[in-house]
Structure 1
Amino acid sequence: MRILVAPDKFAGTLTAVEAADAIAEGWNRTAPGDEVVAVPMADGGPGFVDVLHSSIGGELLAVTVQGPLGAAVPATFLRAGTTAYIESAQACGLALLPMADDGRTPEPGVAERASTYGVGELIAQALEAGARRIVVGLGGSGTNDGGAGMLAALGATSVPDEALTGGPLGLAGIEELDLDPVRQRIGDVSLVAASDVENPLLGLRGATNVFGAQKGISTDDAKLAADGALAQFADLADRRLADEKGSGAAGGLGYALRLLGGRREAGFDTVAEAVGLPDLVAGVDLVITGEGKLDWQSMSGKVVSGLAGLAGPAMRPCIAMAGAVQVGNRELRANGIEAAYSVVDMVGTDDAFAHPGRSLAAVAERVAKTWSR
């Protein structure tokens, strides 16, 4: 048999590369005669650059940029031909913010002053490296500034001067905005926002109201203030684009990229095209995907649903392995997934978290006894 192993990251425990390697290792213990093709996947969030590098090669360029609160942070971008791939979470991700006592959300008030300036610095570095197409992976952000910081790093100016770099709190006082320097700098370089998020920038379905709580913007007053600041910014920039699908991605980074003529692509589709995933699916007997938690969100725009969507028309069975499975068999099959296997259920919670790679390999070893010929 020929097996395609194409998981997303198992958030908090395994990168997509590590997950793919663990599944392949476990499968080979049971079925050493099978050919296992490991193709780690991502949808634009953390791991985006590493996944692409492992599949398509290219050159990883290390740089230092400004983090969301101003401190210098290390980052890398991938140059493959004339295309540069950037992972916005490396410059403005949740992991770069101080966490509250619950360990899951940033301290209250932090995201209101966090900036995407470092993302703009990454784009500037890609331009300096000669990129003619720049793909920015959006996901896992800890910012909510509408991409204003990114625009400032690329040359945008405002009145007052610091309005663009102070997060939504800074935007609340913005009076004037000039984006012409940025547009001239970008020129005819193609910009792509790679994200699975379709939310607009503003309103009940916008960046603040839907994603603000996970960034520590949780009170009604804080959400109202942040959304109002983004509206003030959009009124000066281009209110029409604020309503476009994906403008609310990564706290409004999607909106800022649209302001520069960028277009949105589903993050999964971006990676799938880069690695030639449709042809890979058509050339195997079984497709295996997975992620940390398989739930209802996995069924829309995520890696798992994307793999299932390719496997169905190709008449290839698709199964999933996940840290936890929270979707019933009926819903799984309705979405093109023949079966799903939970690491927690099969090896126990303690082992699943203490030894994630070993545990996932053990699950794959057992699953191969059912699916391998």
Structure 2
Amino acid sequence: MRVVVAPDKFAGTLTAVEAAEAIIDGWTRRAPDDELVAVPMSDGGPGFVDVLHAALGGELLAVTVSGPYEEPVPALVLRVGETAYVESAQAAGLHLVPAQERRPEQATSAGVGELLREAVESGATRVVVGLGGSGTNDGGAGVLAALGALPTGGVLDAGPAGLHGLADVELGPARELLAGVELVAASDVENQLTGLLGATKNFGPQKGVAEERLVVLDGWLEELVAATGHEGRLTAAQKGAGAAGGIGFALLLLGATREPGVALVADAVGLAERLRGADLVLTGEGAFDFSSRSGKVPYGVAQLAAEALVPCVALAGEVLVGSREMRTLGVESAYSLVDLVGRDAAFADPAGSLARLAERTARTWGRRP
């Protein structure tokens, strides 16, 4: 039996590579003769560079950039030929700052711009920026500042609070830096920048924005949009402009094209080709719920599996959908770590727990003697 193992990260516990290893370990305990093919996945968020490096090889360039509060953080640029891959979460990720220390009104995306600059200065002619998992909500203003954009009446690299009073943004220096470079925004969400469907309203609370401050931060992002003129207003309404707290907006404003993160990674790692001739595909993530349809890995993997006529099964930390919703997502069955071992054990030993779940899944989905 040939089984393709294509999970996302299990946020806060396992990388996608570690999750794939745990699933393979557990499955082979039950079915040691099966062929297991590891294809770790990402939607553009944390683990994006790790997954691509595991699949594509290439050269990793170690750099130090600014974190959300301008503290130095380590990051990586992956060079594969003329293409560079960078991960916004390495510089602006929510995971970089403990919950009690988050100050979302001051958090800046400047480090992502520094990463992008490093990629360009490495000689890349195409730069792909993975978006997702950010702890910032500044509309990508910090990115623009790090690339040389010049503000009038406000500050671009001081978080959303710095945007109050912003009158104009001169984008010329940033565009000059990126001249001749193809820029791609690998986005895991389709939200626009502002309003009810925007970055602040939908993702601000998970970054620490208090309910009563959501309208204030959204207003500051509107000031950024107004300062970038007619082009900015058109860009703010595009799909993906609200990705990563609005970093998508900054990249689109600088000429980026947007590609769904899962599709981009799937293409890069050759997932469709690897599914040919497979008997089963196993995917997974930390929480499998109906939001998985919005550009998340299990949904993307399930769609490709359906095209290849291969059944898809999900293993997750928690399963928060019923069988009807599951099948709407293209998944035949889904199994939960929490249901098997309990929440405490799942967090205490995530790899071991996932291996146990995979072993149990093999009893149901593996080939019977």
Q: Scaled by the length of structure 2, what TM-score is found?
A: 0.96
Instruction: Give the fraction of aligned pairs with identical amino acids, expressed as a percent.
Output: 59
SS of equivalent to 1:278: helix
The answer on whether the counterparts of 2:45 and 2:188 sit within 8 Å (CA) in structure 1 is no
Superposition deviation, residue 59 in structure 1: 1.1
Superposition deviation, residue 98 in structure 1: 4.1
SS of equivalent to 2:50: helix
* Residues 256-307 of structure 1: CA deviation (Å, up to 9, x unaligned): 0011100111110110010011111123111100111111112332100111
Q: Does 1:235 align with 2:206?
A: no
**Match runs of 1:286-297 below 5 Å:** 286-297=280-291
Residue matched to 2:346? 352
What is the rounded CA distance, in whole Å, between the counterparts of 1:112 and 1:194 in structure 2?
Answer: 25
**Match runs of 1:50-199 below 5 Å:** 50-100=50-100, 107=102, 110-160=103-153, 163-199=155-191
Residue matched to 1:275? 269
Match of 2:239 among 237, 245, 248: 245
* Structure 2 residue runs without a partner (length 5+): none
Residue matched to 2:217? 226
Q: Which AA in structure 1 matches 2:34?
A: D
Q: Which moved more, 1:275-284 or 1:241-250?
A: 275-284
* Residues 200-245 of structure 1: CA deviation (Å, up to 9, x unaligned): 111111111111111121232x222211111111112121111111
What is the rounded CA distance, in whole Å, between the counterparts of 2:63 and 2:276 in structure 1?
Answer: 38
Q: Which moved more, 1:270-279 or 1:292-301?
A: 292-301
What is the rounded CA distance, in whole Å, between the counterparts of 1:68 and 1:346 in structure 2?
Answer: 37
What is the rounded CA distance, in whole Å, between the counterparts of 2:219 and 2:331 in structure 1?
Answer: 42
Q: Which AA in structure 2 matches 1:144?
A: N
Q: Aligned pair in 2 of structure 1 residues 334, 159: CA closer, same or farther (>3 Å)?
A: closer
Superposition deviation, residue 316 in structure 1: 0.6
Residue matched to 1:257? 251
Match of 1:310 among 300, 304, 319: 304
SS of equivalent to 2:105: helix
What is the rounded CA distance, in whole Å, between the counterparts of 1:9 and 1:242 in structure 2?
Answer: 29
Q: Which moved more, 1:293-302 or 1:15-24?
A: 293-302
Q: Aligned pair in 2 of structure 1 residues 32, 98: CA closer, same or farther (>3 Å)?
A: closer
* Residues 290-331 of structure 1: CA deviation (Å, up to 9, x unaligned): 111111112332100111101112111111111111111122
What is the rounded CA distance, in whole Å, between the counterparts of 2:236 and 2:112 in structure 1?
Answer: 20
SS of equivalent to 1:79: strand
What is the rounded CA distance, in whole Å, between the counterparts of 2:344 and 2:214 in structure 1?
Answer: 37
What is the rounded CA distance, in whole Å, between the counterparts of 1:73 and 1:339 in structure 2?
Answer: 40
* Residues 80-118 of structure 1: CA deviation (Å, up to 9, x unaligned): 111111110111111223422xxxxx54xx111111111
CA RMSD of aligned residues (A): 1.2
SS of equivalent to 1:239: helix
What is the rounded CA distance, in whole Å, between the counterparts of 1:157 and 1:143 in structure 2?
Answer: 20
* Structure 1 residue runs without a partner (length 5+): 101-105
What is the rounded CA distance, in whole Å, between the counterparts of 2:132 and 2:336 in structure 1?
Answer: 25
What is the rounded CA distance, in whole Å, between the counterparts of 1:16 and 1:358 in structure 2?
Answer: 15
What is the rounded CA distance, in whole Å, between the counterparts of 1:326 and 1:219 in structure 2?
Answer: 25
Q: Which moved more, 1:173-182 or 1:120-129?
A: 173-182
Q: Aligned pair in 2 of structure 1 residues 349, 223: CA closer, same or farther (>3 Å)?
A: closer
Q: Which moved more, 1:249-258 or 1:231-240?
A: 231-240
Q: Aligned pair in 2 of structure 1 residues 217, 348: CA closer, same or farther (>3 Å)?
A: closer
Q: Which AA in structure 2 matches 1:240?
A: L
Q: Which moved more, 1:298-307 or 1:125-134?
A: 298-307
Q: Which moved more, 1:252-261 or 1:361-370?
A: 361-370
Match of 2:361 among 354, 364, 367: 367
What is the rounded CA distance, in whole Å, between the counterparts of 1:46 and 1:272 in structure 2?
Answer: 16
The answer on whether the counterparts of 2:279 and 2:310 sit within 8 Å (CA) in structure 1 is yes
Superposition deviation, residue 60 in structure 1: 1.2
Residue matched to 1:103? none
Match of 2:331 among 337, 349, 352: 337
